[in-house]
Amino acid sequence: FNLTLQSLLYKILKKNNSYEWVRFLDHAMKIYLNRKHRTIKMTPIEGEKDINEKRLPITNIIFPTFLKN
Protein backbone atom coordinates (compact mmCIF):
# COMPACT_ATOMS: atom_id res chain seq x y z
CA PHE A 1 0.00 0.00 0.00
CA ASN A 2 2.66 2.51 1.06
CA LEU A 3 4.87 2.04 -2.00
CA THR A 4 1.88 2.16 -4.34
CA LEU A 5 0.64 5.38 -2.78
CA GLN A 6 4.16 6.83 -2.82
CA SER A 7 4.52 5.99 -6.50
CA LEU A 8 1.17 7.61 -7.30
CA LEU A 9 2.15 10.73 -5.37
CA TYR A 10 5.49 11.00 -7.18
CA LYS A 11 3.75 10.83 -10.55
CA ILE A 12 1.18 13.45 -9.53
CA LEU A 13 3.85 15.75 -8.07
CA LYS A 14 5.97 15.50 -11.20
CA LYS A 15 2.98 16.19 -13.45
CA ASN A 16 2.06 19.26 -11.38
CA ASN A 17 5.67 20.37 -10.90
CA SER A 18 5.17 20.57 -7.13
CA TYR A 19 6.65 19.25 -3.88
CA GLU A 20 3.48 19.84 -1.82
CA TRP A 21 2.50 16.19 -1.44
CA VAL A 22 -0.15 16.91 1.21
CA ARG A 23 -2.10 18.91 -1.35
CA PHE A 24 -2.37 15.86 -3.64
CA LEU A 25 -2.86 13.10 -1.06
CA ASP A 26 -6.66 12.96 -1.46
CA HIS A 27 -6.31 12.71 -5.22
CA ALA A 28 -3.79 9.85 -4.90
CA MET A 29 -6.12 8.01 -2.49
CA LYS A 30 -9.05 8.34 -4.90
CA ILE A 31 -6.93 6.81 -7.65
CA TYR A 32 -5.76 3.98 -5.35
CA LEU A 33 -9.25 3.13 -4.09
CA ASN A 34 -10.76 3.11 -7.58
CA ARG A 35 -8.00 1.10 -9.26
CA LYS A 36 -8.55 -2.61 -9.82
CA HIS A 37 -6.21 -4.66 -7.60
CA ARG A 38 -4.59 -7.85 -8.82
CA THR A 39 -5.09 -9.82 -5.62
CA ILE A 40 -8.80 -9.22 -5.07
CA LYS A 41 -9.69 -8.74 -8.78
CA MET A 42 -11.71 -5.61 -7.98
CA THR A 43 -11.26 -2.14 -6.58
CA PRO A 44 -11.13 -1.68 -2.79
CA ILE A 45 -14.36 0.32 -3.07
CA GLU A 46 -16.07 -2.66 -4.73
CA GLY A 47 -14.53 -5.04 -2.19
CA GLU A 48 -16.15 -3.15 0.69
CA LYS A 49 -19.66 -3.70 -0.65
CA ASP A 50 -21.71 -6.27 1.28
CA ILE A 51 -22.41 -8.27 -1.87
CA ASN A 52 -18.68 -8.88 -2.41
CA GLU A 53 -17.89 -9.87 1.17
CA LYS A 54 -18.34 -13.56 0.38
CA ARG A 55 -16.08 -13.30 -2.66
CA LEU A 56 -13.18 -12.26 -0.42
CA PRO A 57 -12.64 -15.25 1.92
CA ILE A 58 -9.30 -13.86 3.10
CA THR A 59 -11.25 -11.16 4.94
CA ASN A 60 -12.88 -13.83 7.11
CA ILE A 61 -9.46 -15.26 8.03
CA ILE A 62 -7.71 -11.98 8.80
CA PHE A 63 -10.54 -9.95 10.34
CA PRO A 64 -13.01 -12.45 11.86
CA THR A 65 -13.78 -10.33 14.95
CA PHE A 66 -14.65 -7.26 12.89
CA LEU A 67 -17.12 -9.19 10.77
CA LYS A 68 -19.10 -10.37 13.80
CA ASN A 69 -19.91 -6.81 14.93
User: Cα 44 to chain center, whole Å?
Assistant: 5
Looking at the chain, the whole-number percentage of residues with pLDDT higher than 70 is 75
Least confident of 17-21, 22-26, 41-45: 41-45
Q: Model confidence at 66, in pLDDT bands (50, 70, 90)?
A: very low
Q: CA dist 59 to 22, 29, 48, 55, Å?
A: 30, 21, 10, 9
Contact (Cβ atoms closer than 8 angstroms) between residue 22 and residue 14: no
Amino acid identity, position 20: E
Q: Model confidence at 57, in pLDDT bands (50, 70, 90)?
A: low
Q: What is the pTM of this model?
A: 0.67
Q: Model confidence at 67, in pLDDT bands (50, 70, 90)?
A: very low
**Could you give the CA distance from residue 66 to residue 62 in angstroms, rounded to a whole number?**
9
User: Cα 27 to chain center, whole Å?
Assistant: 12
